[in-house]
């Protein structure tokens, strides 16, 4: 399993904050890819990003060969509830085909509001599946989460507006 002490969480959350303006529908998938590339880069050589090249996982562990999925959202860890917000595990883009097969061993949970990251295993997700018409969702009880970092501070002067820079570069290429 990955070691949280080897991650550079400050730089990961810096990239997350730098992509805040990329939440509109057209840029959301690119934002996710940028964040996941940052997770790979600052994982302390523990993760290899596989993104859309492999189904149902975002990373492969370089030392442990385990499969890791990554989910992020503002306010992921609800303080009063004792569990995370609901997470979409599988979107069938239409008619649900039932509960998904196991495609990852661990999930990284990123709370982009509180700069907190946790790790849970597949069983912690699977036991709380909520099957809907087009999706399978889940939530994770806080007691099933290993918190790797809480309240990571990011120096505001280190945050860059990726959306603005990206649009500037696109306009240059046109």
Apex 95 CA angle, 99 and 55, nearest 5 = 55
Q: Which CATH class is domain 4-173?
A: alpha beta
The residue ranges of every structural domain in the chain are 4-173
For residue 134, what pLDDT is reported? 76
C-alpha–C-alpha distance, residues 4 and 139, integer Å: 22
- Each residue of 60-93: pLDDT tens digit? 999 999 999 999 999 999 989 999 999 998 777 6
pLDDT above 90: residue 10: yes
% pLDDT > 90, the chain: 83
- Each residue of 117-134: pLDDT tens digit? 999 999 999 999 988 777
- Each residue of 129-162: pLDDT tens digit? 988 777 889 999 999 999 999 999 999 999 999 9
For residue 97, what pLDDT is reported? 65
The average pLDDT across 102-121 equals 97
C-alpha–C-alpha distance, residues 104 and 86, integer Å: 18
> Which DSSP helix (H) or strand (E) runs through 123?
helix 122-126
The average pLDDT across 92-117 equals 87
Q: What is the mean pLDDT of the chain?
A: 93
Q: Is residue 11 classed as helix, strand or coil in its secondary structure?
A: helix
Rg (CA), the chain: 16
C-alpha–C-alpha distance, residues 75 and 83, integer Å: 11
Query: Higher pLDDT residue, 2 or 91?
Result: 2
C-alpha–C-alpha distance, residues 131 and 170, integer Å: 40
């Amino acid at each position: 399993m990955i070691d949280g002490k080897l991650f550079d969480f400050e730089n990961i959350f810096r990239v997350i904050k730098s992509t805040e303006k990329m939440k509109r529908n057209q840029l959301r998938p690119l934002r996710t890819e940028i964040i996941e590339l940052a997770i790979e880069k600052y994982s302390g050589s523990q993760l290899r990003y596989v993104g859309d090249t492999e189904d149902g996982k975002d990373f492969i562990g370089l030392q442990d060969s385990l499969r890791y999925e990554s989910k992020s959202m503002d306010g992921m860890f609800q303080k009063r509830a004792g569990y995370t917000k609901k997470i979409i595990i599988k979107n069938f883009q239409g008619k649900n085909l039932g509960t998904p097969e196991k495609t990852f061993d661990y999930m990284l949970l990123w709370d982009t509001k509180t700069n907190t990251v946790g790790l849970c295993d597949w069983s912690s997700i699977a036991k709380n599946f909520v099957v809907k018409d087009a999706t399978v969702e889940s939530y994770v009880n806080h007691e099933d989460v290993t918190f790797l970092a809480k309240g990571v501070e990011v120096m505001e002067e280190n945050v860059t507006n990726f959306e603005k820079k990206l649009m500037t570069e696109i306009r240059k290429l046109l």
